[in-house]
Structure 1
Amino acid sequence: MTQPIRRERARLPAAERRRQIIDVTTRLIAERGFWGLSMQDVADGCGLTVPGLLHHVGSKDGLLLAVLEHRDAEDLRSLNEAVGDTESPREICAALVRRNSWQPEIVRLFAVLEAESLTPDHPAHDYFAARQQNTIDGLSRLLKGRTPDPDGLAVKIAALMDGLQVHWLRNPAEIDLVTQWMAAADFIFRDVDPPSGG
């Protein structure tokens, strides 16, 4: 009697495997949310066993944080390339909105997780609280000396951006994220950072 042929799983370099895991997890969380995420589904999507997946990420919470940190690093790198040395709040926000308009699945991922993480027991609760504060602090620094209330305006800009993105995600055929942001920016930045022309 012949032995069945064993099919070996494709071996990938550690960095490539981690990137695959992050990509599969990103897609699944965007579709189902963190609470609907199954480690078995992630493992299946990567051609791994669950123990093999845990070898790379440690835990489900560790996997979530790896996805979030990876996306933030990618977004920061891309934003830095897009804006160069500018310190114009209007131009930085416009570059961020343009980038987000090209990656609805990532924006959806963050919108779903941010809403879920409002509960204190969510593993990304502290991450999103710190991320929101860092965003507002960064905007406030850019606005200092340009407006009497940089902290208040920073909160309004962040809230406007988040709100427009949710409306766009819900109805992308009807809402052009970039067009709506540019119209809103003309209002919100009218006394702060006039458009650079063109």
Structure 2
Amino acid sequence: MQTSPEFRRDRARLPAAERRRQILEMTTRLIAERGFWGLSMQDVADGCGLTVPGMLHHVGSKDSLLVAVLEYRDEEDARSLAGKLGLPVHQLWAEEPRRVTLPEVCSALVRRNAEQPEIVRLFAVLEAESLAPGHPAHGYFKARQRRTLDQFAALAEGDVPAPRELAIQVVALMDGLQIQWLREPETIDLVTAWDAAAARLFRP
């Protein structure tokens, strides 16, 4: 089908940064629906009004696009989480001086995730798929898990006798509740379920 002159002008006007953001948002939505293995580069390009070569000019390969999507979402979520906690983003995980506690961070995280089920679904799908060593996000999720456990353990340091063990339990509980919520959102309220579980997990 021939592209209309109006569409060509619109495409030409988009700055590179805005076009890249559009591609990442479209890819996010499609992966959340289909998983990485079901992702078609043609569908991403069509959704952005581009040809596949034109889209790849902005993002490189399919594998690099996936990692770019994950990094982009991490940056967006870090900014949102810092805002909910009333902190500048660069102080979110600062060890000295400690600005927030682990229960506060977890509560803000859960409330943030409850507002964006499509993003939580994206990460749940990709995290499961990336257990296969050949998956392009295998290394990303392995490093992300280690970083999250390190950050949570650091926040719990001095408050509990085994901060690393607590961090592992927190991540397991949070991930498990999110899976149940995604599967039955009409019967499970993520925030309510987390608050009830956190009252037991973080009890003095």
Q: Same-fold call, TM > 0.5?
A: yes
Give 1:107's match in structure 2, choosing from 116, 120, 127: 120
Task: Give the direction of change, closer, same or farther, for the CA distance of 1:43–1:5 in structure 2 (3 Å limit).
Answer: closer
Going from structure 1 to structure 2, the CA distance change for 1:142 and 1:6 (only over 3 Å counts) comes to closer
Which one of 45, 65, 68 corresponds to residue 70 of structure 2?
68
**Residue deviations 1:138-176 (CA, integer Å, cap 9, x gap):** 000011111111000100000000000000000000000
The corresponding residue for 2:176 is 163
Corresponding residue number in structure 2 for 1:43: 45
Secondary structure, counterpart of 1:44 in structure 2: helix
Identity %: 66
- Aligned-CA RMSD value: 1.3
Q: How far did 1:89 drift?
A: 0.9
Larger Rg: 1
AA matched with 1:154: A
Which consecutive unaligned segments of at least 5 residues does structure 2 have?
Answer: 88-98
Equivalent of residue 134 in structure 1, options 147, 151, 155: 147
Query: Could you tell me how far 1:81 is from its partner in structure 2?
Result: 1.3
**Structure 1 residues 16-35: Cα deviation after superposition (integer angstroms, max 9, x where no partner):** 10111011100000000000
Query: What is the alpha-carbon distance in structure 2 between the residues aligned to residue 84 and residue 125 of structure 1?
Result: 33
Q: TM-score, normalised by structure 1?
A: 0.92
- Structure 2 CA distance for aligned equivalents of residues 5 and 20 of structure 1: 19
* TM-score, normalisation: structure 2: 0.89
Deviation, structure 1 residue 6: 5.7
Which amino acid is the alignment partner of residue 58 of structure 1? Answer: G
2:116 is the alignment partner of 1:116: no
Q: How many residue pairs are counted as aligned between the two chains?
A: 188
